[in-house]
Amino acid sequence: MKILVINSGSSSLKYQVFDMPNENPICTGLVDRIGLDTGSVSHKVFKDGAQQTFSIQMPIPDHEVGLQQVTSLLVDVEKGVLETLDEVKAIGHRVVHGGEEFASTTVIDAQVKDKIKELFALAPLHNPPNYTGIEVAEKVFPNATQVAVFDTAFHQSMPPVAYRYAIPKELYEEKGVRAYGFHGSSHQYVSKKASEYLKEKSSKLIVVHLGNGSSITAIKDGKSIDHSMGLGPMGGLVMGTRAGDIDPSIIFHLINERGYSAKEVNDLLNKKSGLLGLCGYSDMRDVKQAIESGDSDATLAYEIYAYRIKKYIGSYVAVLNGLDALIFTAGIGENDAEMREAACKDLSYLGITLDSDKNKLRSNAIREVQAADSPVKILVIPTNEELEIGQQTYELVNT
């Protein structure tokens, strides 16, 4: 059964085509730097044991343009893997926010779409492009079953002490105001791979997912028990354009004393803050280039980014009452050795000591980067949200 997985992030769109139950994709791709001055498409095809890679540089103003380019590539005579789009029997969509209504993978219908739209305000950078992906896919693949895999589902195991806020309880009971958690497909996939690698069913893990959006999860025995993001995917770690944790007094100061509207503050914290607000660059690759040229704002942004990670590691070691493995994943987590080193610096009291030489080695496999005498393992595990989404989609439509 051919299954297409669409993973729309805030500034990127990843896709894979699987011939399930085979877990090896027949095609993968990345539409990157959406909304920036220069965009790119990297499209890889796997045939007869060989890999072909095609790269396209083009303006990609929004996710709809990116998806249209993807579908063209899939049926291209030279670059494609499908004779017709009807070969795709199901499409698994990553959807960031599912509220409390969706605790599992769900076939998409009109009611599900309406709920995804209702949650736009809680995930303004993600649910709209997720919804766009669904709308475009319905037009292009009218005979395929559309399936939603929600980021929030994995975190439904968090206990009330972790997901409730210290606000009047009717806001939770009547309005659903609570912490939901995000990047669930990534945290679930990586934690499963870690448990398999460690050969331990019972384990205490901290997964650090670092990309344009970043989050960190405390995982005990395979279940999420605390997570850095909350009602929406804005809190916690510093991100590309999102502020992460912030004193709520700042919001009221901006509105009451500085004349900002609520919408302007929301846009400020979601789209103009984080790395972008600190130094003018939202992409970590651009931040590092600026550091190399002597940009002091970029240096400070990098240090703040790492400092926030360290604070969460310390708090989650306390929540777990110990730690078996600290795991880095996603684009920055997997590829930025300097960030891993900065985030682990001076954590030896917690049993976390990095080996600088091991940390600099690159590999697509799971690798250990801790020092020989480190009680806690430090792992770099490539995430594969698309495979997790594909497997969940296949299980749902194949039952």
Task: For residues 215 and 74, give the distance between their C-alpha atoms in angstroms, rounded to a whole number.
Answer: 32
Q: Is 210 annotated as a binding residue?
A: yes
Q: Is 7 annotated as a binding residue?
A: yes
Considering the candidates 151, 226, 324, 336, report the single residue annotated as catalytic.
151
Q: Is 29 annotated as a binding residue?
A: no
Q: Is 209 annotated as a binding residue?
A: yes
Task: For residues 139 and 387, give the distance between their C-alpha atoms in angstroms, rounded to a whole number.
Answer: 24
336 belongs to the catalytic site: no
Task: For residues 209 and 212, give the distance between their C-alpha atoms in angstroms, rounded to a whole number.
Answer: 10
Task: For residues 111 and 116, give the distance between their C-alpha atoms in angstroms, rounded to a whole number.
Answer: 9
How far from the centroid of its chain's Cα atoms is residue 117's Cα? 20
Task: For residues 161 and 172, give the distance between their C-alpha atoms in angstroms, rounded to a whole number.
Answer: 13
Q: Is 285 annotated as a binding residue?
A: yes
Under DSSP, the state recorded for 229 is -
Q: Is 211 annotated as a binding residue?
A: yes
Task: Report cis status (omega within 30 of 0) of the bond before 21.
Answer: yes
CB 137 within 8 A of CB 147: no
Q: Is 14 annotated as a binding residue?
A: yes
Six token digits for residue 22: 């085979």
Largest CA distance in the chain: 65
Amino acid at 341: E
Quick count: other Cβ atoms within 10 Å of Cβ 72?
A: 13
* Helix-strand-coil split of the chain, %, nearest 5: 40, 20, 35
CB 90 within 8 A of CB 96: no
Under DSSP, the state recorded for 177 is -
Q: Is 229 annotated as a binding residue?
A: no
Q: Is 333 annotated as a binding residue?
A: yes
Task: For residues 330 and 77, give the distance between their C-alpha atoms in angstroms, rounded to a whole number.
Answer: 32
CB 57 within 8 A of CB 39: yes
Q: Which residue has the tokens 């309880």?
A: 169
Q: Specify the long-range contacts of residues 19-24, CB closer than 8 Å, at least 24 apart.
A: 20/390, 20/391, 20/394, 20/398, 21/394, 23/387, 23/391
Under DSSP, the state recorded for 85 is G
Instruction: Kindly tell me the number of DSSP H helices and DSSP E strands found in the chain.
Output: 15, 14
CB 169 within 8 A of CB 88: no
Q: Is 64 annotated as a binding residue?
A: no
The binding site consists of 7, 14, 94, 209-213, 283-285, 331-335, 385
The binding site for Mg(2+) consists of 7, 385
The binding site for substrate consists of 94
Residues noted as catalytic: 151
The binding site for ATP consists of 14, 209-213, 283-285, 331-335
